[in-house]
Structure 1
Amino acid sequence: MKRILLLFIIPLVLVACSNDEEVTPNKRFNDYVNHWNEQEFGEMYGMFSQVATESYPEDQSTLRTEKIYQDLNVSDLQIDFEELNEEELEMAMEEGTAELPFTVNMETIAGPITYEYEATLVQQGEEDEEEEMNWYVNWDPGFIFPDLKDGGEIGIDTVNPKRGEILDRNQMPLAINGTIVEVGVVPGELGDNAEQSKKQIAELLGISAESVDTALNAGWVQDNLFVPLKSVLSTEEELLSELSAIDGVQRRETTGRVYPAGEAAGHLVGYIRSITADDLEDLDPAQYSANDKIGSRGLEAHYEEQLKGKKGVKITINKEEQDEIILAETPVEDGETITVTIDVNVQEKLFKSYEEDAGTAAAINPTTGETLALVSSPAFDPNEVLYGTSGDLWERMENDEQNPLINRFASTYAPGSVFKPVTGAIGLKDGSIKLGEGIEIDGLTWSNGEGWGNYEVTRVSTSDGPVDLEDALIRSDNIFFARKAVEMGSDAYVSGLNEFGFGEDLPFEYPITMSTISTSGDLDDEVLLANSSYGQGELEMSALHVALTYTTFLNEGNMIMPTFLTSEETAQVWKEGLITPEQAKAIQEALRKVVTEGTAKKAQNADFPISGKTSTVELKLSDSESGAENGWFVGYPTDDQDILIAMMVEETQDKESGLAVQKVTDVLKQMK
């Protein structure tokens, strides 16, 4: 009896195991969908039915799908299906065929696409053959998109956005989409001296003869077709006339980026350039392709996302003698117009004032905080970068001793004596300096004892009596400020500098290098502390930050927040209560006397009163050897305080004294 029971149980176990191992349409299609979701197209093709593989070879099915997905930049692919219930599954197992509805969701370059379709799975294989029974997908092109089931081709239509323009405060253009001239050749019209003509064209356009040949040998070129070679500005009339005289040369007007301010705003605005392979690795492939342009340097780069806009894309299915079927569409979005507080008139006048000199300047409205100009000299002309015909442009700029590729207004420099009003303000708030209270200073040099070794602070002139803050500013007395900083001590002085914005980024739209106290961030060395008090040592500031510190004296002790976009709220306080209104007024009065009695007398050339402060910064090569000198002047109209200019001129040691004063004064006179 026990033996019979055992024999009965064994067959049941075998049947159960067999049912568990049997492949169902649900499981098989689930495997297929998993491969699809992962875009594993090779594995998908191995699950096609015999009918599908005979009707649709791999290059017409899965490889075609893969190519379409790449072209459409498909992402977030998700396929879901409804499993057969028990009754449907039992019927499918009996009949050897199953219908499974599924839904496809995906993101593409033109937006989301969703569709529903139905998969048919069939059993293949012979139980008594080596090939085991299994379920296979009866694939057809409707799996890619249902409207492709009966044929058709995918179309992708792209509309490029117009790049946004950059305007100044008065709606004057800094970067616009203007008319340029595309110069090219019709090969069949080059005539008998084609080689000589091509060489002449290349020389005039500043390109290589090889690049001309490459363009003319492109696969699409025919004798009667226009082959573009280079774009030039429509104002290059002489060049265009010479080119037009050559047989085969033609020109067409088109739209291109134009920079009306040229060199004057080169560093500020930047330019656009062709996309590189490295760029494409980091950019959104839906918005950038190898033939696009991208902002390089300046505002063009800083506001690239806003200026670029977004491409319009439409994905369609096209069939003969039928209207196109739209699968997805994203309308084009043109780039934004960026309007800055810059006044191109001030920008150009400041730049031209440099002539052959190098340096940097920032102009602001000291009451509102609006930035009127950011100048770096020398510079480059963005138009020449894009359309110039000099083949050695970059080589010349890279080898230029004045470094025209350096953006000086975004950099920092030792401010020298123009910084003394800030030290004065720190001392007034600290209490170590009191208005009208002077100290006795003897001679032209001062040292604070043995700890200083042989080092001494020097001043340019002696004093007849006690030196107070006003006298120290008028005569630019280094010793007064050095002694007061030492009296304050490092901690108090550094704390005061931090209150003036040192060690933090300017709250400013355009990236400007942070002003720093020293390489270490502190002033533990007393000699360094003394030197920093009059703007030397290791202290470094941008011209814009220098200008902003002076707003403290024109706004009752509050430093104004700088603005750069016209959309920003103006006249906002950045640093509040740095000194009292009375103290601010006293420094204002001293800055006027710097012009009438002190080191900035050249500013009296204007027929209106100017206030300000000068400095000469010695760039020492070593403790014993002097180097070049940079000259500074911060100036503003004493009464109509609507513009303040902080200017630095490099290497003034062999030039006329007060060069920066003269340049700022000339610009202010032109603005009145």
Structure 2
Amino acid sequence: MTLQNNTKKKSRKKMGLALGVAAAVGLGAGCWFLFLRQTPQDFVQAYMDCIEARDYEKMYEMLDADSQERIDQESFLTRNQNIYEGIEVEDLKLEFKKKDGDKKWIKYTATMNTVAGELTFDNQMYVHREGLGLKLQWEDTSIFPELHSTDKVQVSSSEFQRGGIYDREGKTLAGQGIVSSVGLVPGKMSVDPTQREEDIQKMADLLEISAESIENSLDASWVKDDSFVPVKKIEKNHTVENTLLGENFDSELVKQLVEIPGVMVTDAEDRVYPLGEVASHLTGYVQSVTAEDLEERKGKGYDANSVLGKSGLESLYEDELRGTDGCKISIVDQDGQERTVLAKKETENGLDITTTIDSELQEMLYRQFENDKSCSVAMNPFTGEILALVSTPSYDSNDFVLGMSQSVWDSLNEDEDQPMYNRFRQTWAPGSTFKPMTAAIGLSTGRLAADENLGYSGTSWQKDSSWGSYHVTTLHDYGEDVTLRNALVYSDNIYFAKAALKIGADTLEEQLKKIGFGQELPFPISVTSSQYSNEEHISTEVQLADSGYGQGQMLVNPIHLASIYTAFLNEGDMLKPKLLQEENPQGEVWISDAFTEEAVQTVAEDLKDVVNSPEGTGYGLHLEGVELAGKTGTAEIKDTVEDTSGTELGWMAVYTTDPDTEKPLLLLTMVQDVKERGGSGYVVDNLRPVLESYLLGQEYTKPSQDEPE
């Protein structure tokens, strides 16, 4: 109150001076008149507008003489800038209250957005005339009513935990885990410069990083002799499997590292992928954000320390997996004790994602084909749940999170087998696995009859001489009973070339579009759309004939192909593939009546014979106790029709027929480069141990890790 009275006395003297000056220059000086007419509310508004404008010098100029005597400009600028920019003030609004009492006290409610959310408080400022205009009697309470001169405004944050990714049984596919942080304590390093340099180089070699990066870490401004300076994170005990099992022993790498003076290895938290390369194409990985990432996600809570899903499920479900950091703005006294909480935003952890994936099946399929270029899709054919998505060879997501060495990065990029290439997202020539679709289309449209004999042609055929030297060839001569059942069991290319010609290009194209060709697959992971031609239409008879047995320019995505196969188990309806677990999963129809019920019943019976009849090409997967059906396939990959040096893709589509089977399964696998390795028979042989383990409960033994011949 004394401060106010003194100010009033000084104000009267200064006001008299101001009025005298105004009289001297005349009332016609409009600018002075307007200046004198500024209301105290306008003055306070102008002062607060300077906060968002970051014009702290202008704010200081608006202080009265007494205030400027108590706080110098540099201290004022520093205090206000640190507070307002520290809490990231934006969109500051004032609501002035009705005047009561001393009219020089301007009361208002301030609302602003801050790093901790919206902050609202009531406050007041003492505004009076001094000299030619209004001035503010400033105190620390002008910032916040509870703020004292010895107090500080403190911003504290709590990090959210990124949601985990789990399989159908709750096993971790991606989540927070314990890793080993390798670092240096400068005060414990060798004092001999030459030895120190040698130790750093040895550490760099063991961690596969540069010695320069270690030196840069040690040169950071915060580093002291007793500081722990992190250099690199590695898998705990050098294996992620041990991380989750909780085993506690030192790897050979750690033993060598801790022999170096000053090196320490401690536990740290980080994102881990327990299945490693087994599921990396599915899970993807996270990495630190780049400047481009921050620009793209401006205003979404990312900062320089954030991580971001870069591929796979980590990228697909980034918004769900990412949470929101908690933040609190508080006033603390000179001893660091919290006095008042101004604003608080609670921490919101990311959501967990539970998938339909079966980790054991995923791993078995990976182990069977890890030395091949392959992909596998496993699905419950009655619910559409995806049980496994495998691409081989693969990479290890953990390498991207913990820091990939240049040698590992080079090996991934220079490997001709392309371990970074996700094969289950691509399209491939389906070969004979597409013959059931040709059959179902022919039967559904009435262009083909199951018992119709299309004529014996041996193992080589062409429609007429207009085809030139081109002939359709097939492997098996099974006699003159050239009907649909035998054509599927013996995988007769000639039969299905003839069937395609009977169906006709227009009808075939129409039906292929109906079952999803050229459409986007309704699946969370984006995949390449299936096609039947490189151009708009099937343009020649030869192309049409080749399309009938899955060659020509036919390219199909494996997940799409698996979805088409579900029609043989769901009365002609194609099911939508699902990746997220549901409480009571039910099949969701993607395309209804893809084929007629009569057509799928006929084809489905024939596909049983493919696997269960001794003459069937899929008989190698015949199991006692579980009825299976399916179709083998071998697709030639060559540059021209005349090319004889091309390679081959081997396929197998196999499924359980009984909906009451304990573990319903539709499994589709493609392997590249099976020429001279048995064609589709190579795939059949490798799938048998997987099916025996998954369906019959037999113990699964991982195959030899030797390269395939």
Same fold by TM (over 0.5)? yes
Which structure 2 residues correspond to residues 254-265 of structure 1 after superposition, within 5 A? 254-265=268-279
Partner Cα distance (1:73, 1:570) in 2:
49
Query: Which residue of 316, 331, 337 maps to 2:330?
Result: 316
Q: Is the 8 A contact 1:41 1:62 kept in 2?
A: no
Pair 606,361 (structure 1): closer, same or farther in 2 beyond 3 Å? farther
* Counterpart position of 1:590: 606
* Counterpart position of 1:438: 453
Q: Is the 8 A contact 1:41 1:63 kept in 2?
A: no
1:22 and 2:34 equivalent?
yes
| Equivalent AA in structure 1 for residue 453 of structure 2 | G
Q: Is the 8 A contact 1:28 1:135 kept in 2?
A: no
1:465 and 2:480 equivalent?
yes
* Counterpart position of 2:11: none
| Equivalent AA in structure 2 for residue 304 of structure 1 | E
Task: Measure how far apart 1:61 and its partner are.
Answer: 4.4
Partner Cα distance (1:651, 1:274) in 2:
37
Partner Cα distance (1:668, 1:660) in 2:
12
* Counterpart position of 1:573: 589
Query: Which residue of 239, 244, 257 maps to 1:243?
Result: 257
Partner Cα distance (1:428, 1:435) in 2:
7
Pair 152,532 (structure 1): closer, same or farther in 2 beyond 3 Å? farther
| Equivalent AA in structure 1 for residue 527 of structure 2 | I
Task: Measure how far apart 1:668 and its partner are.
Answer: 0.8
Task: Measure how far apart 1:521 and its partner are.
Answer: 4.6
* Counterpart position of 1:253: 267
Query: Which residue of 107, 110, 113 maps to 2:116?
Result: 110
Q: Is the 8 A contact 1:272 1:293 kept in 2?
A: yes
Query: Which residue of 674, 683, 690 maps to 1:667?
Result: 690
Partner Cα distance (2:48, 2:404) in 1:
57
Deviations 1:310-341 (A, max 9, x none): 21111112222564311111111222221111
Pair 533,62 (structure 1): closer, same or farther in 2 beyond 3 Å? farther
Task: Measure how far apart 1:407 and its partner are.
Answer: 1.1
Q: Is the 8 A contact 1:35 1:44 kept in 2?
A: no
* Counterpart position of 2:579: 564
Task: Measure how far apart 1:287 and its partner are.
Answer: 3.3
Q: Is the 8 A contact 1:425 1:578 kept in 2?
A: no
Pair 147,606 (structure 1): closer, same or farther in 2 beyond 3 Å? same
| Equivalent AA in structure 2 for residue 79 of structure 1 | L
Which structure 2 residues correspond to residues 2-401 of structure 1 after superposition, within 5 A? 22-23=34-35, 24-26=37-39, 28-29=42-43, 32=46, 35-36=49-50, 39=53, 41=55, 44-45=58-59, 48-51=62-65, 55-56=70-71, 59-61=74-76, 64-81=79-96, 98-125=104-131, 133-148=132-147, 150-191=149-190, 192=192, 193-236=195-238, 237-283=251-297, 287-320=301-334, 323-387=338-402, 390-401=405-416
| Equivalent AA in structure 2 for residue 585 of structure 1 | Q
Task: Measure how far apart 1:362 and its partner are.
Answer: 0.4
Per mean C-alpha deviation after superposition, the further-off stretch among 399-408 and 292-301 is 292-301
1:483 and 2:498 equivalent?
yes
Task: Measure how far apart 1:591 and its partner are.
Answer: 1.2
1:619 and 2:637 equivalent?
yes
Deviations 1:376-426 (A, max 9, x none): 000011223334785411111000000001111122222122111112212
Q: Secondary structure at the match of 1:342?
A: coil
* Counterpart position of 1:4: none
Q: Is the 8 A contact 1:45 1:58 kept in 2?
A: no
Partner Cα distance (1:200, 1:452) in 2:
68
Q: Is the 8 A contact 2:57 2:77 kept in 1?
A: no
* Counterpart position of 1:629: 648
Q: Is the 8 A contact 1:441 1:463 kept in 2?
A: no
Deviations 1:560-597 (A, max 9, x none): 22211112633222222223333222212211222322
Q: Is the 8 A contact 2:533 2:553 kept in 1?
A: yes
Deviations 1:100-137 (A, max 9, x none): 33332122221110123234444455xxxxxxx44444
| Equivalent AA in structure 2 for residue 532 of structure 1 | S
Task: Measure how far apart 1:608 and its partner are.
Answer: 5.2
Q: What TM-score comes out, normalization by structure 2 length?
A: 0.83
Partner Cα distance (1:388, 1:656) in 2:
40
Per mean C-alpha deviation after superposition, the further-off stretch among 147-156 and 442-451 is 442-451
Q: Is the 8 A contact 1:512 1:542 kept in 2?
A: yes
1:422 and 2:437 equivalent?
yes
* Counterpart position of 1:642: 664
Q: Secondary structure at the match of 1:235?
A: helix
Structure 2: tracts of 5 or more residues without a match: 1-25, 239-250, 697-709
| Equivalent AA in structure 2 for residue 633 of structure 1 | M
Q: Is the 8 A contact 1:25 1:121 kept in 2?
A: no
Task: Measure how far apart 1:143 and its partner are.
Answer: 4.2
Q: Secondary structure at the match of 2:146?
A: helix
Partner Cα distance (1:247, 1:46) in 2:
55
Task: Measure how far apart 1:163 and its partner are.
Answer: 2.1
Q: Secondary structure at the match of 1:273?
A: strand
Task: Measure how far apart 1:609 and its partner are.
Answer: 4.7
Deviations 1:261-319 (A, max 9, x none): 11111111122222222222233567333223222221222222222222111111222
Pair 439,158 (structure 1): closer, same or farther in 2 beyond 3 Å? same
Q: Is the 8 A contact 1:78 1:105 kept in 2?
A: yes
Q: Secondary structure at the match of 1:22?
A: helix
Partner Cα distance (2:217, 2:52) in 1:
41
Pair 531,387 (structure 1): closer, same or farther in 2 beyond 3 Å? same
Partner Cα distance (1:457, 1:63) in 2:
84
Pair 272,418 (structure 1): closer, same or farther in 2 beyond 3 Å? same
Task: Measure how far apart 1:455 and its partner are.
Answer: 4.7
* Counterpart position of 1:502: 517
Deviations 1:84-114 (A, max 9, x none): 89xx9xx98xxxxx54333321222211101
Partner Cα distance (2:310, 2:451) in 1:
53
Partner Cα distance (2:162, 2:489) in 1:
51
Per mean C-alpha deviation after superposition, the further-off stretch among 337-346 and 418-427 is 418-427
* Counterpart position of 1:11: none
Q: Secondary structure at the match of 2:279?
A: helix
Partner Cα distance (1:34, 1:59) in 2:
19
Q: Secondary structure at the match of 2:486?
A: helix
1:493 and 2:495 equivalent?
no
* Counterpart position of 1:8: none
CA RMSD of aligned residues (A): 3.1
Percentage of matched positions with identical amino acids = 36
Q: Is the 8 A contact 1:44 1:62 kept in 2?
A: no
Partner Cα distance (1:557, 1:507) in 2:
18
Partner Cα distance (2:422, 2:161) in 1:
28
1:654 and 2:673 equivalent?
no
Q: Is the 8 A contact 2:328 2:345 kept in 1?
A: yes
Per mean C-alpha deviation after superposition, the further-off stretch among 364-373 and 298-307 is 298-307
Deviations 1:207-233 (A, max 9, x none): 111111112222222222222222222
Partner Cα distance (1:142, 1:419) in 2:
78
Structure 1: tracts of 5 or more residues without a match: 1-13, 93-97, 126-132
Pair 458,144 (structure 1): closer, same or farther in 2 beyond 3 Å? farther
Per mean C-alpha deviation after superposition, the further-off stretch among 36-45 and 366-375 is 36-45
* Counterpart position of 2:17: none
Partner Cα distance (1:368, 1:139) in 2:
70
Task: Measure how far apart 1:538 and its partner are.
Answer: 2.7
Q: Is the 8 A contact 2:286 2:314 kept in 1?
A: yes
Q: Secondary structure at the match of 1:574?
A: strand
